[in-house]
């Protein structure tokens, strides 16, 4: 397998242990999962995805990867309140949206790799999603559910062990319906590390304040940081 590990970080225990942990230390299953991942990376040219132009996606599906939590973990923020997944599907951009999401996962994972290489005790990243306004038409339609399931599939099969927490804030009832619909595609590990807060601002603000400084959060996430996004 070593000849297939084309990047130096792939040969480290820091990287390889994740595949063992994702398979309860079953060596055969871990090797098989890693081999599938490496094939996926080659076929989808993941090593150069950061060079692709996603300006249209950044405009229509706001995200940011320039935040850190109080322990130094990179934080990706998704302002899904402004996303229209159904429109992406109707206009034939669902695959592009999924590739955009994979670019974000790749970006934030690389941040962890750089921090660790520089001596920081950082091994994972967080995601915070503002779900205000999510509904069953633009976010929970049958085809939209397929997009969410593909996102979860990518998260747990191509980036196992990298996520520390997935925090959803300002979640309307539609979020529970979407989560129920995607449950078959979500691993136990992800479910256990997902925190969903409803529309009670006091509750989710208290939790976020304990995890991420307000100076590191934009207004959509209860913070004071400028909304100018870091170039991906």
Q: Sorting pLDDT into bands at 50, 70 and 90, what band is 228? A: low
pLDDT digits (tens, 9 = 90+) for 17-27: 999 999 999 99
pLDDT digits (tens, 9 = 90+) for 36-92: 999 999 999 999 999 999 999 999 999 999 999 999 999 999 999 899 999 999 999
pLDDT digits (tens, 9 = 90+) for 25-40: 999 999 999 999 999 9
The pLDDT value given to residue 231: 42
How many other C-beta atoms can be found within 10 angstroms of the C-beta atom of residue 25? 11
pTM of the model: 0.92
DSSP state of 140: S
- The angle, 0 to 180 degrees and rounded to 10, between the axes of the packed helices 142-158 and 173-182 is 60
Structural domains in the chain, CATH included, are 1-43 (no CATH), 56-220 (3.40.525.10)
């Amino acid at each position: 397998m070593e000849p297939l590990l084309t990047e130096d970080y792939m040969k480290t225990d820091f990287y390889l242990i994740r595949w063992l942990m994702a398979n309860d230390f079953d060596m055969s299953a871990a090797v098989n999962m890693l081999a599938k991942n490496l094939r996926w990376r080659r076929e989808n040219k993941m090593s150069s995805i950061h060079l692709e132009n996603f300006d249209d996606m950044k405009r229509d599906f706001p995200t940011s990867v320039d935040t850190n939590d109080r322990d130094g973990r990179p934080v990706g923020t998704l302002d899904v309140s402004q996303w229209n997944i159904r429109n992406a599907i109707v206009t034939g951009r669902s695959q592009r949206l999924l590739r955009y999401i994979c670019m974000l996962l790749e970006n934030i994972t690389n941040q962890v790799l750089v921090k660790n290489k520089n001596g920081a005790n950082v091994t994972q990243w967080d995601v915070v999603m503002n779900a205000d306004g999510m509904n069953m038409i633009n976010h929970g339609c049958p085809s939209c559910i397929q997009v969410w399931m593909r996102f979860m599939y990518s998260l747990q099969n191509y980036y196992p062990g990298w996520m520390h927490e997935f925090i959803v804030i300002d979640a309307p009832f539609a979020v529970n319906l979407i989560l129920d619909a995607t449950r078959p595609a979500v691993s136990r590990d992800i479910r256990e590390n997902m925190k969903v807060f409803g529309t009670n601002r006091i509750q989710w603000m208290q939790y976020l304040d304990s995890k991420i400084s307000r100076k590191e959060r934009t207004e959509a996430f209860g913070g004071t940081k400028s909304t100018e996004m870091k170039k991906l």
